[in-house]
A = this chain, B = another copy of it.
Amino acid sequence: MGVWLIGARGSVATTVVTGCAAVAAGLHLPTGMVTETPAFTDSGLPALSDLVFGGHDTVDCPLPKRAETLTAGGVLPPGIATAVAAELTAADREIRPGGPTPGDTRSETELITAFADDIRDFVHRHGLERAVVVNVASTEPASQGPDAPLPASTLYALAALRAGCPYVNFTPSEGMHHPAAAREAERSGLPYAGRDGKTGQTLLRSVLGPMFAQRALTVRAWSGTNLLGGGDGAALADPAAAAAKNAGKERVLTDTLGTTPQGETHIDDVPALGDWKTAWDHIAFDGFLGTRMILQTTWQGCDSALAAPLVLDLARLTARAHESGLSGPLDALAFYFKDPVGDAPSGLAEQYEALIRFAGRLREGEAGEGAAEREDAADGAAHPAREVRGTGDRP
């Protein structure tokens, strides 16, 4: 099975390729990978050792070199990049030039075709049953209206559909959300998931929001500041790019609290922090008789190390969903996203339950999908992707 990464030379992609090889080789435990927990044992997910990586990127730095830099920055543990050098080199060979680059004269259609050809070629040469396209590129500025050119993320999403591949958007970029792509996705019969991986502050918010709501405590203001360096810090220092991300962060509050509290969320580019991210949240809430109380949280994490195991989870789950004949928005994967596609609960606990039910459906999917449909009908709480058959121009 193939994993085609948009932004294949970035920190997240490098950590994905390195970590998959290291875990497959038994060098590290699969910490952070939910698909390696017992609930997924018989769900028919592809083995880590069966994943083949390729992707698009607009920069040149070879993956082994990138892994060295991440090691120096404390993102990858010492020694691991050397131990999996062969796998990094193999993945590096499968990275094709992305676009559009400045001065690129190709039309949107030409770009989509070129990208789709790259993916098909990858699948063909490796004799893969299927490949999942995952967007882990830097966040784009929000789209500029209906007449603006398609954002790159949408070109890649359309290329994925053209190549018959399921698609996962791990970023807040538009990707499959653009109206042009949304129509195509509907027609394609392919499953897709997204958007914007929930790795830190929003993960916390998705458990703290429900806590306040369930305890009937009134949240007056929820303020937050994110400090991060690395590529994402620079990209999000652009207010247009930060807007999409913040929308997701605030959505989880509105959805779990049932109201939008006061307060802003800042994203600051602090290059000195490198790939490390600090998120401070300050929550002013009222208790009984209006007594004012405060909760503060500080989350200090490494962005790539938080994202990479989720990317591996998503690639495996989406591939298996495709194999099981599911199509459309995979709302059962809301557990992973700030701004989930489809119709999904906002609290992490419910999202986790939905994910575990999905694991069950994938398991039953092997024996016969009818069973899954019956369970579905009985369980009003689940909102699974629709099942379709015989569609998609698969490679």
A286, B273: Cα distance in complex, Å = 11
A390 within 8 Å of B (CB atoms): no
Query: Min CB distance, A334 to chain B, in Å?
Result: 13
A384 within 8 Å of B (CB atoms): no
A278, B288: Cα distance in complex, Å = 17
The answer, among B220, B270, B301, for a CB contact under 8 Å with A293, is B301
Binds B, one of A24-32, A106-114, A182-190: A24-32
| Max chain B C-beta neighbours (<10 A), residue from A218, A272, A282, A308 | A272
Which A residues, 265 to 321, have Cβ-Cβ distances below 8 Å to chain B? 266, 268, 270-273, 278, 280, 282, 284, 286-291, 293-302, 305-306, 308-309
A166 within 8 Å of B (CB atoms): no
The answer, among B77, B215, B350, for a CB contact under 8 Å with A289, is B77
Contact B293 A22 (CB under 8 A): no
A45 within 8 Å of B (CB atoms): no
Q: Tally A residues with Cβ within 8 Å of B.
A: 77
Contact A280 B225 (CB under 8 A): yes
Contact B28 A289 (CB under 8 A): yes
Contacts of A128 in B (CB 8 A): none
A217 within 8 Å of B (CB atoms): yes
A232, B306: Cα distance in complex, Å = 31
Binds B, one of A53-61, A68-76, A129-137, A142-150: A68-76
The answer, among B31, B288, B294, B295, for a CB contact under 8 Å with A286, is B31
A264 within 8 Å of B (CB atoms): yes
Digit string of A209-229 for contact with B (CB within 8 Å is 1, else 0)?
Answer: 011001111101101010100
Given A282-B278, A282-B280: A291 and B75 interface contact (C-beta under 8 Å): yes
A204 within 8 Å of B (CB atoms): yes
Contacts of A306 in B (CB 8 A): 287-288, 293
A180 within 8 Å of B (CB atoms): no
Contact A297 B300 (CB under 8 A): no
A34 within 8 Å of B (CB atoms): yes
Contacts of A289 in B (CB 8 A): 15, 18-19, 22, 28, 31, 76-77, 80, 305
Contacts of A278 in B (CB 8 A): 282, 294
Contact B272 A268 (CB under 8 A): no
A347 within 8 Å of B (CB atoms): yes
A372 within 8 Å of B (CB atoms): no
Which A residues, 194 to 211, have Cβ-Cβ distances below 8 Å to chain B? 203-204, 207-208, 210-211
Residue of B nearest to A275 (CB): B291
The answer, among B270, B288, B296, for a CB contact under 8 Å with A31, is B288
Query: Min CB distance, A99 to chain B, in Å?
Result: 30
| Max chain B C-beta neighbours (<10 A), residue from A225, A266, A271, A286 | A225
The answer, among B22, B71, B210, B268, for a CB contact under 8 Å with A349, is B210
* Other A-B pairs beyond A74-B291, A287-B306, 14, CB < 8 Å: A28-B290, A31-B216, A31-B218, A74-B74, A80-B289, A204-B295, A210-B348, A211-B348, A214-B335, A214-B348, A216-B309, A225-B225, A261-B272, A347-B349
Q: Which A-B residue pairs are the 7 nearest by beta carbons? A: A349-B349, A220-B272, A291-B305, A293-B301, A32-B288, A221-B272, A287-B305
Selected A-B contacts with CB under 8 Å, 10 pairs: A31-B216, A31-B290, A77-B291, A204-B211, A214-B348, A223-B227, A262-B272, A288-B305, A295-B300, A347-B349
